[in-house]
Amino acid sequence: MPLNLKLYEQRTHYLSFLINDFILWQLARVRKSFDGDIDAALVLGEIGHYNIRKNFQQIFSLDQASISGAGEAIIESIPDTALFKGTNAMSISCATGIPRETVRRKIQWLEQRGWISKDDTGALTVTDLPSKDFADFNYETMERFIATADKVSQIMEQASPDATDPPLEPKTG
């Protein structure tokens, strides 16, 4: 759904609050889950994202309205191990803006926890452990994300393209 700029501008304060509320809630949870180390979370996330990016870019493109049936069939037909493409500290440093030496230290920290592994060539991949360790965390994130998206949709539906600042009334039901 394309965003209507006029409606967005009408509700920018409400929308900004909702989005920031979600982001701050999530950042605090991430920080706690990584013993206060947001950089380690970024490194793990970027490694995982890099591992599967090439395989999923076309299937999960944000430009597409939905995932096609063909995309779902592709996902189901590929073994999990075939989806991963290894990466390295330099690529993660470039992607995150975190200095390479800091990335290397974070990689060691993540390896000690069993969340990433290196193959014989030094290529980094995420192990299965984070998906297990963060299963509840990810579920709670998805619930809150969907609830936030619903609130954003409600606010945009209540906005009037003709009014300058219509009153915001809570939707019930």
CA distance 17 to 96: 26
Q: How do residues 152-172 score in pLDDT, each as one tens digit?
A: 988 888 766 654 544 555 555
Do 74 and 33 touch, CB atoms closer than 8 A? no
Q: What three-state secondary structure class fits 8?
A: helix
CA distance 39 to 123: 19
- The b/e string for 137-172 (b: 16+ C-beta within 10 A; e otherwise) is eeeebeeeeeebeebbeebbebbeeeeeeeeeeeee
pLDDT at 6: 82
Phi, psi of 160 (to 5 degrees): -110, 130
Q: What is the pTM of this model?
A: 0.76
CA distance 127 to 48: 9
pLDDT at 109: 97
Q: 37-127: which CATH architecture? A: Orthogonal Bundle (1.10)
CA distance 128 to 76: 17
pLDDT of residue 5 exceeding 90: no
Q: How do residues 33-92 score in pLDDT, each as one tens digit?
A: 999 999 999 999 999 988 887 666 655 655 555 555 555 665 565 555 555 789 999 999
CA distance 147 to 139: 12
Number of neighbouring beta carbons within 10 Å of residue 119: 9
| Across 6-25, average pLDDT | 91
Query: Predicted confidence band at 10 (pLDDT cuts at 50, 70, 90)?
Result: confident
For the chain, what are the domain ranges? 1-33+129-160, 37-127
Q: How do residues 129-140 score in pLDDT, each as one tens digit?
A: 999 999 999 999
pLDDT at 11: 85
CA distance 49 to 141: 17
